[in-house]
């Protein structure tokens, strides 16, 4: 009798739990600079092993740009959405629900990596002559649309840097996700916004003065 009712209760609980939720399975981001000269399309698909991520480089990551070409482009999931006019500064720090901090990520030891440090774990994007690159694809085992409770991958943004400077950003839009009422930003805890670029703001200012072209235009827009 007890067994029977427990089974019924479990079945009922299962129905209740399954019915109202839209499963979050797919997200995407168009990461661009203000003037649109720089564009990378990201997709995020939930798979058994984690998150299947693709980057399609549409334009702008050219060898001709006034950037540090050796460094290539670092990119991360940042905690808050992009501000008005592609305000990449509004995106806060890296998604870091386990408070790893900005120390270098060792991709063979994921506990040393911030969850949102995608290039730390999977490598920087390298510039090419025409500014496009073959699609990059990998599976990240740490990211999830629902876990951990204090730092899921919803309500976030993706930011691309060169040599620490934020050069492009875009909101990470997850199909079926609605931000909590009255809160268009995030659902969870995040890292401290300071220091995550590995540079002081004074250094960034000096760097931006030296840069020209798309990067300089973008920094002016900030």
Ligand X SMILES: *[C@@H]1O[C@H](CO)[C@@H](O)[C@H](O)[C@H]1NC(C)=O
Q: Which residues bind ligand X (CB under 6 A)?
A: 28-30, 47, 52, 54, 68, 70-71, 109, 111-112, 137, 163-164, 173, 182-183, 185-186, 199, 203, 207
The distance between the two most distant Cα atoms of the chain, rounded to a whole number of Å, is: 78
Q: Which is nearer to ligand X, 30 or 119 (CB)?
A: 30
CA nearest to 172, candidates 100, 76, 103: 76
Minimum CB separation from ligand X for residue 66, in Å? 7
Position closest to ligand X via CB: 71
What whole-number distance in Å separates Cα of residue 159 and Cα of residue 161?
A: 7
In the 8-state DSSP scheme, what is residue 128? B
Q: Which is nearer to ligand X, 87 or 164 (CB)?
A: 164
Minimum CB separation from ligand X for residue 164, in Å? 6
59: partner contacted, choices Cu ion, ligand X, none (Cβ within 5-8 A by kind): none
129: partner contacted, choices Cu ion, ligand X, none (Cβ within 5-8 A by kind): none
Q: Are 99 and 107 in contact (CB under 8 A)?
A: no
193: partner contacted, choices Cu ion, ligand X, none (Cβ within 5-8 A by kind): none
Q: Which is nearer to ligand X, 89 or 208 (CB)?
A: 208
Residue 15: both structure tokens together: 């129905």
In total, the chain counts a number of residues equal to: 222
Minimum CB separation from ligand X for residue 199, in Å? 5
- Output the DSSP codes for 82-127: -BTTTBGGGG-SB--TT---SSPPBTTBGGGS-TT-HHHHH-PBPP
Minimum CB separation from ligand X for residue 180, in Å? 6
Q: Which is nearer to ligand X, 10 or 179 (CB)?
A: 179
71: partner contacted, choices ligand X, Cu ion, none (Cβ within 5-8 A by kind): ligand X
Angle between helices 201-210 and 213-221 (to 10 degrees): 130
């Amino acid at each position: 009798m007890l067994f029977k009712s427990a089974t019924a209760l479990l079945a009922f609980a299962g129905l209740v739990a399954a019915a109202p939720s839209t499963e979050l399975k797919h997200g995407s981001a168009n990461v661009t600079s203000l003037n649109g000269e720089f564009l990378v399309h990201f997709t995020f698909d939930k798979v058994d092993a984690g998150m299947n991520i693709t980057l399609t480089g549409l334009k702008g990551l050219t060898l001709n740009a006034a950037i540090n070409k050796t460094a290539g482009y670092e990119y991360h999931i940042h905690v808050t959405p992009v501000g008005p006019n592609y305000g990449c500064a509004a995106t806060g720090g890296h998604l870091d629900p386990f408070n790893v901090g900005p120390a270098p990520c060792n991709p063979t030891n994921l506990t040393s990596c911030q969850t949102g440090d995608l290039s730390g774990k999977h490598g920087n994007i390298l510039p090419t002559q025409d500014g496009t690159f073959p699609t990059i694809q990998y599976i990240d085992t740490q990211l999830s649309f629902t876990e951990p409770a204090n730092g899921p991958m919803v309500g976030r943004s993706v930011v691309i840097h060169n040599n620490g400077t934020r050069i492009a950003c875009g909101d990470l839009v997850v199909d079926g996700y609605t931000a909590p009422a009255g809160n268009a930003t995030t659902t969870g805890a995040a890292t401290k916004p300071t220091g995550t670029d590995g540079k002081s703001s004074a250094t960034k200012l000096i760097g931006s003065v030296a840069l020209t072209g798309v990067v300089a235009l973008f920094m002016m827009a900030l």
